[in-house]
Structure 1
Amino acid sequence: MLTPNIPPQPRFRYPGAVLFAFRRDPLGLLTRLARDYGDVVALRLARQHLVLINHPDLIRDVLVTHHRCFKKGRGLERVKRFLGEGLLTSEGEFHLRQRRMIQPAFHRQRIHGYGATMVAYAQRTAQRWQPGTTLDVAHEMMRLTLGVAGKTLFDADVEDEANEIGAALTELMHLFNVIASPLEEWLERLPLLPAARRFQRARDRLDRIVYRLIDERRRSGEDRGDLLSMLLQAQDIEGDGTGMSDQQIRDEAMTLLLAGHETTANALSWTWYLLSQHPEVEARFHAELDQALQGRAPTADDVTRLPYTRMVFSEALRLYPPAWIIGRRALVDYQLRDYRLPAGTVVVMSQYVMHRDPRFYPDPQRFDPERWRPEQVEQRPKFAYFPFGGGPRLCIGEQFAWMEGVLVLAAIGQRWRLRLAPGQTVEPEPLITLRPRGGLRMIVEPR
Structure 2
Amino acid sequence: MDAPSPSSPPAAPRIATGPRGLPLIGVLRDVRKDVLGWLMRTATEHGPVARYRFGPARSYLVTHPEGLKHVLQDHVKNYTKDHFSYSLFRRVVGDGLITSQGETWLKQRRLAQPAFHRARISAMAEQMVRATGDLAEHWSEAQRSGEPRHVVRDMMALTLRIVGEALLGTDVRAEVQAVSAAFNVLSEQTVERFRSMRIIPPVLPTAYDRAFRRANHTLREVVARVIAERRQRLEDRGDLLSMFMLARDEETGEQMDDAHLENEVLTMMLAGHETTATALSWVWVLLEQNPGPEQALHAELASVLGGRLPTADDVPRLVYTRRVLDEALRLYPPVYVLGRKVLEDDTVCGYQVLGGSSVDISPYVTQRLPEFWPDPERFDPDRFTPDKIAARPKYAYFPFLGGPRQCIGNNFALMEGTLILATLAQRYRPRMVAGYTPTPEPLVTLRPTGELPAMISPR
TM-score range, shorter chain: over 0.9
Deviates further, 243-252 or 189-198: 189-198
Aligned-pair CA distance for 1:178: 3.5
Corresponding residue of 2:320? 308
Provide the rounded CA distance (Å) in 2 between the counterparts of 1:40 and 1:112.
40
Provide the rounded CA distance (Å) in 2 between the counterparts of 1:421 and 1:182.
34
Answer whether contact 2:341 2:356 (CA < 8 A) is retained. Answer: yes
Which of 278, 282, 305 is 1:293 aligned to? 305
Provide the rounded CA distance (Å) in 2 between the counterparts of 1:171 and 1:96.
31
- For 2:185, give the aligned amino acid: E
Which of 204, 210, 229 is 1:197 aligned to? 210
**Local SS of the residue matching 1:235:** coil
Aligned-pair CA distance for 1:301: 0.6
**Local SS of the residue matching 2:27:** helix
Which of 110, 115, 124 is 2:134 aligned to? 124
Query: Matched residue pairs, number?
Result: 443
Provide the rounded CA distance (Å) in 1 between the counterparts of 2:33 and 2:64.
25
Deviates further, 142-151 or 323-332: 323-332
Aligned-pair CA distance for 1:336: 2.1
- Report 1:117-196 matches (<5 A): 117-129=127-139, 130-131=142-143, 132-180=146-194, 182=196, 184-185=198-199, 187-188=200-201, 191-196=204-209
- For 1:154, give the aligned amino acid: L
Distance 1:189 1:271, change over 3 A: closer
Distance 1:411 1:61, change over 3 A: same
Answer whether contact 2:50 2:62 (CA < 8 A) is retained. Answer: yes
Does residue 66 (structure 1) correspond to residue 78 (structure 2)? The answer is no
Aligned-pair CA distance for 1:17: 5.7
Distance 1:401 1:4, change over 3 A: closer
- Report 1:381-392 matches (<5 A): 381-392=393-404
Aligned-pair CA distance for 1:261: 0.3
Corresponding residue of 2:437? 425
Cα deviation 1:197-249 (Å, max 9, x = unaligned) = 10110010011000000001112234333222211101244x66543121111
Does residue 352 (structure 1) correspond to residue 361 (structure 2)? The answer is no
Corresponding residue of 2:5? none
- Report 1:201-350 matches (<5 A): 201-237=214-250, 241-350=253-362
Does residue 26 (structure 1) correspond to residue 35 (structure 2)? The answer is yes
**Local SS of the residue matching 1:357:** coil
**CA RMSD, 1 decimal:** 1.6
**Local SS of the residue matching 2:186:** helix
Which of 101, 106, 111 is 2:121 aligned to? 111
Unmatched runs of 5 consecutive residues or more in structure 2: 1-11
Answer whether contact 1:321 1:434 (CA < 8 A) is retained. Answer: yes
Provide the rounded CA distance (Å) in 1 between the counterparts of 2:13 and 2:328.
41
Answer whether contact 2:13 2:352 (CA < 8 A) is retained. Answer: yes
Provide the rounded CA distance (Å) in 1 between the counterparts of 2:98 and 2:202.
26
Corresponding residue of 2:88? 78
Answer whether contact 1:266 1:434 (CA < 8 A) is retained. Answer: yes
Distance 1:107 1:120, change over 3 A: same
Provide the rounded CA distance (Å) in 2 between the counterparts of 1:142 and 1:354.
26
Corresponding residue of 2:450? 438
Cα deviation 1:349-370 (Å, max 9, x = unaligned) = 1000001000001000000001
Aligned-pair CA distance for 1:387: 0.2
Which of 87, 106, 115 is 2:97 aligned to? 87
Aligned-pair CA distance for 1:83: 0.6
Cα deviation 1:104-160 (Å, max 9, x = unaligned) = 111111001010011011111011113133111000000000010000012211123
Distance 1:362 1:255, change over 3 A: same
Answer whether contact 1:101 1:236 (CA < 8 A) is retained. Answer: no
- For 1:330, give the aligned amino acid: V
Deviates further, 241-250 or 309-318: 241-250
Does residue 411 (structure 1) correspond to residue 453 (structure 2)? The answer is no
Unmatched runs of 5 consecutive residues or more in structure 1: none
**Local SS of the residue matching 2:451:** coil
Provide the rounded CA distance (Å) in 1 between the counterparts of 2:202 and 2:232.
38
Answer whether contact 2:202 2:210 (CA < 8 A) is retained. Answer: no
Does residue 396 (structure 1) correspond to residue 405 (structure 2)? The answer is no
Task: State percent identity of aligned pairs.
Answer: 44
Provide the rounded CA distance (Å) in 2 between the counterparts of 1:67 and 1:13.
31
Answer whether contact 2:202 2:213 (CA < 8 A) is retained. Answer: no
Distance 1:127 1:77, change over 3 A: same
Provide the rounded CA distance (Å) in 1 between the counterparts of 2:22 and 2:204.
34
Answer whether contact 1:7 1:40 (CA < 8 A) is retained. Answer: yes
- For 2:114, give the aligned amino acid: P
**Local SS of the residue matching 2:447:** strand
Provide the rounded CA distance (Å) in 1 between the counterparts of 2:26 and 2:51.
15
Aligned-pair CA distance for 1:179: 3.5
Aligned-pair CA distance for 1:252: 0.5
Answer whether contact 1:118 1:408 (CA < 8 A) is retained. Answer: yes
Corresponding residue of 2:49? 40
Aligned-pair CA distance for 1:9: 2.4
Provide the rounded CA distance (Å) in 2 between the counterparts of 1:356 and 1:433.
17
TM-score w.r.t. the length of structure 2 is 0.93
- For 2:221, give the aligned amino acid: R
**Local SS of the residue matching 1:294:** coil
Provide the rounded CA distance (Å) in 2 between the counterparts of 1:338 and 1:125.
51
Aligned-pair CA distance for 1:74: 2.2
Which of 363, 378, 381 is 1:369 aligned to? 381
Provide the rounded CA distance (Å) in 1 between the counterparts of 2:375 and 2:197.
41
- For 2:383, give the aligned amino acid: R
Aligned-pair CA distance for 1:102: 1.0
Aligned-pair CA distance for 1:10: 2.0
